[in-house]
């Protein structure tokens, strides 16, 4: 059995992300997921970067390697955002999460340039949440990816819902440094992306606890069998992580 | 009885099946769906097609032995034609409500023509269902303002805000007593929060089946069932509320 990796989950403490590490591990067990990325929750992404990163690093440190820590840094913090990324990466963070709507910038503008340069240097992939509408659209990410060829980007949610119409064109013209994460993408759309020839760029993610990993995986499996697409369900993401400098 | 309160009759079905709904119904029945509120599709994209589509949709639903309940569409951008077509759809075609997709149709929820259509709908006791969750024409808060201006008209958020405006949908439904919500679009955690915080008597469930041949009803019914609602809330959302919304149109 190939390893299934869930590229995004938010074991948080408030609002709709409440989930302990123990509960997350239980959800993973019931879904057959071996490892999962754990990312800071909304408040931590917006304002409490450092304490959020520390919480996640601690949680991952106690998981016998099953939880992969992601970190965040608000680009408005400028130099200190870069320092926070370097500090977190040195402590084990394997992915940088940006959420333009929560952090207050439009993806594609120059604000995160230094942070993206730092992520390129560390080979830490940058997960960018798409939506809501004006912030983090797939096309904004494509412009930024061309501008920062050394950085590696993961488009979270593939622009679901309202940018789904852009996705065939976006997938077809995406530069080599962009991957696409599938949480919130509906199973029939995910299957269409894979069958249009883009399986090497697609990455499974659940966004637990916003979604139930076992349910999403079961629905996906019906259209995109896990055993036929080991790359999408783990391989592509594992290859990205393998390059992160530690 | 399970009523799917957000479905479409799209041209892909019509080119395959003509005006015969049996295969469409069989796809829904596989998931236990017994009845559906059916919305237009092409007419939302091109108002030159909406009159014909209202005719076709009425005919398709008439062939469903009462299992499909048709909603018409009109384009409020052309007020005079919109008012006349709404009247025709209700009085002649016997359709049961109005669907507006302000984003696709290119009109704001807040407009003169929309006010007039909502008054008509209130007079006939016909619900108005909106696409929602998309700026700049289809925000839940925009629908709430309209609903407050027309307290006798029942309005429905067709998507409860989708992924990004579901908190706003909760506020909208709490702020306008005649605004209902169809659980069709938000993720599981959002659905759970909507059910927890909104008046359960005004919630519906929908799949958005019928845009294409994709089998979406199983997925969205699975999401609803993942909420593990108590029996009475599940029954309300899937059957009792739709019956109250649509009136005595169910034949079985
Ligand atoms: Zn729809």
Residue B103 CA, chain-centre distance (Å), reads: 15
> Which member of A161, A210, A215 has the closest CB to residue B189?
A210
Residue of chain B with shortest Cα separation from A188: B214
DSSP character for B213? S
Residue B223: list chain A partners with CB under 8 A: 215
Residue B234 CA, chain-centre distance (Å), reads: 19
Q: How far apart are CA A32 and CA A23, in angstroms?
A: 14
Segments forming the whole domain that contains residue B124: 3-245
Mutate which: B188, B216, B228, vs A, most A CBs within 10 A: B188
Q: Ligand 1 mean position to B159 CA, how many Å?
A: 8
Residues B77-109 pLDDT 10s:
999 999 999 999 999 999 999 999 999 999 989
> Omega into A161 within 30° of 0, i.e. cis?
yes
Q: Ligand 1 mean position to B185 CA, how many Å?
A: 9
* Selection from A112, A95, A184 nearest residue A148 by Cα: A112
Residue B27: list chain A partners with CB under 8 A: none
Global pTM reads 0.93
Residue A186: list chain B partners with CB under 8 A: 216, 219
Residues A157-180 pLDDT 10s:
999 988 998 999 999 999 999 999
A187, B218 Cβ separation under 8 angstroms: no
Low-confidence ranges of chain A (pLDDT < 50): none
Contact B163 A161 (CB under 8 A): yes
The dihedral built from the CA positions of residue A218, A224, A227 and A232, taken in this order, carries a sign that is negative
Concatenated DSSP letters for B126-139? Answer: --EEE--SBTTTB-
Question: Residue B251 falls within a domain, yes or no?
Answer: no
Q: Can you tell me the ipTM of this complex?
A: 0.90
Q: Ligand 1 mean position to B182 CA, how many Å?
A: 10
A74-77: which pairs have CB atoms within 8 A and are 24 or more residues apart? A74/A45, A74/A46, A74/A47, A74/A49, A74/A103, A74/A104, A75/A103, A75/A105, A75/A111, A75/A112, A75/A114, A75/A115, A76/A103, A76/A104, A76/A105, A76/A111, A77/A49
| Pairing label, strands A126-129, A95-98 | parallel
> Which member of A133, A188, A211 has the closest CB to residue B187?
A211
Residue of chain A with shortest Cα separation from B135: A133
| Residue B250 pLDDT | 64
Q: How far apart are CA B51 and CA B9, in angstroms?
A: 14
Question: Residue B57 falls within a domain, yes or no?
Answer: yes
Question: Residue B252 falls within a domain, yes or no?
Answer: no
Q: Ligand 1 mean position to B7 CA, how many Å?
A: 6
Residue B140: list chain A partners with CB under 8 A: none
For residue B188, the distance in angstroms to the closest alpha carbon of chain A comes to: 5
| Pairing label, strands B68-70, B98-100 | unpaired
Residue A220: list chain B partners with CB under 8 A: none
Question: Residue B250 falls within a domain, yes or no?
Answer: no
Token pair, residue B250, equals: 């169910």
DSSP character for A3? P
Residue B222: list chain A partners with CB under 8 A: 215, 219
Q: How far apart are CA B75 and CA B97, in angstroms?
A: 14
| Pairing label, strands A95-98, A67-72 | parallel
Number of domains in chain B: 1
Question: Residue B110 falls within a domain, yes or no?
Answer: yes
Task: Flag whether residue B141 sits within 8 Å of chain A, measured between CB atoms.
Answer: no
Domain positions in chain A: 5-242
CATH number of B74's domain: 3.20.20.140
For residue B191, the distance in angstroms to the closest alpha carbon of chain A comes to: 10
Question: Residue B150 falls within a domain, yes or no?
Answer: yes
Task: Flag whether residue B196 sits within 8 Å of chain A, measured between CB atoms.
Answer: no
| Residue B187 pLDDT | 98
Residue B218: list chain A partners with CB under 8 A: 219
Q: What are phi and psi of B6, to 5 degrees?
A: -145, 90
For residue A133, the distance in angstroms to the closest alpha carbon of chain B comes to: 8
B189, B221 Cβ separation under 8 angstroms: no
Residue of chain B with shortest Cα separation from A129: B164
A5-242 fold: TIM Barrel (3.20.20)
Residue of chain B with shortest Cα separation from A187: B219
Contact A187 B219 (CB under 8 A): yes
Contact A210 B188 (CB under 8 A): yes
Q: State which residues have CB under 5 angstroms from ligand 1, the bound ion.
A: B 208
Q: Ligand 1 mean position to B158 CA, how many Å?
A: 7
Question: Residue B200 falls within a domain, yes or no?
Answer: yes
Number of CB atoms found within 10 A of residue A225's CB:
11
Low-confidence ranges of chain B (pLDDT < 50): 251-252
Concatenated DSSP letters for A187-217? Answer: HHHHHHHIIIIIGGGEE----BTTS-HHHHH
């Amino acid at each position: 059995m190939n390893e299934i990796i869930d590229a995004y989950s938010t074991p948080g403490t408030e609002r709709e992300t409440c989930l302990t590490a123990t509960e997350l591990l239980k959800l993973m067990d019931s879904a057959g997921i071996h490892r999962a990325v754990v990312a800071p929750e909304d408040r931590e992404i917006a304002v409490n970067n450092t304490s959020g990163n520390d919480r996640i690093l601690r949680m991952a440190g106690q998981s016998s390697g099953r939880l992969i820590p992601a970190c965040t840094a608000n680009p408005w913090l400028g130099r200190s955002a870069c320092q926070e990324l370097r500090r977190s990466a040195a402590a084990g963070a394997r992915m940088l999460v940006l959420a333009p709507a929560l952090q207050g910038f439009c993806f594609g503008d120059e604000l995160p340039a230094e942070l993206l340069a730092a992520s390129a240097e560390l080979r830490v992939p940058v997960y960018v949440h798409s939506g809501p509408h004006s912030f983090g659209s797939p096309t904004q990410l494509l412009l930024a990816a061309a501008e920062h060829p050394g950085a590696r980007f993961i488009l979270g949610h593939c622009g679901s819902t309202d940018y789904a119409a852009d996705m065939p064109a976006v997938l077809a013209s995406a530069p080599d440094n962009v991957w696409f994460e599938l949480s919130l993408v509906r199973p029939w759309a995910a299957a269409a992306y894979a069958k249009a020839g883009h399986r090497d760029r697609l990455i499974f993610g659940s966004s637990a606890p916003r979604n139930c990993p076992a349910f999403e995986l079961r629905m996906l499996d019906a259209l995109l069998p896990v055993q036929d697409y080991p790359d999408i369900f783990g391989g592509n993401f594992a290859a990205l992580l393998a390059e992160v400098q530690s | 009885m399970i009523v799917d309160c957000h479905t479409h009759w799209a041209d892909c079905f019509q080119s395959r099946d003509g005006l015969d709904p049996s295969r469409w119904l069989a796809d829904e029945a596989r998931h236990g769906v017994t009845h559906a509120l059916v919305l237009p599709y092409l007419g939302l994209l091109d108002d030159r097609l909406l009159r014909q589509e209202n005719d076709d949709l009425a005919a398709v639903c008439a062939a469903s032995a009462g299992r499909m309940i048709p909603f018409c569409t009109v384009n409020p951008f052309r007020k005079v034609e919109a008012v006349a077509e709404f009247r025709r759809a209700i009085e002649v075609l016997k359709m049961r409500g109005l669907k507006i997709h302000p984003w696709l149709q290119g009109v704001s929820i807040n407009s003169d023509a929309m006010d007039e259509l909502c008054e008509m709908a209130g007079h006939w006791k016909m619900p108005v269902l909106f696409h929602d969750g998309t700026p700049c024409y289809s925000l839940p808060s925009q629908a709430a303002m309209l609903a407050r201006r027309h307290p006798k008209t029942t309005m429905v958020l067709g998507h409860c805000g989708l992924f990004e405006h579901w908190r706003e949908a909760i506020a909208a439904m709490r702020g306008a007593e005649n605004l209902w919500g169809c659980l069709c679009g938000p993720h599981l955690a959002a659905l759970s929060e909507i059910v927890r915080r909104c008046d359960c008597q005004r919630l519906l469930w929908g799949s958005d089946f019928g845009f294409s041949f994709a089998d979406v009803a199983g997925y969205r019914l699975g999401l609803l069932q993942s909420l593990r609602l108590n029996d009475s809330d599940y029954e309300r959302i899937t059957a009792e509320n739709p019956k109250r919304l649509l009136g005595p149109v169910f034949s079985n």
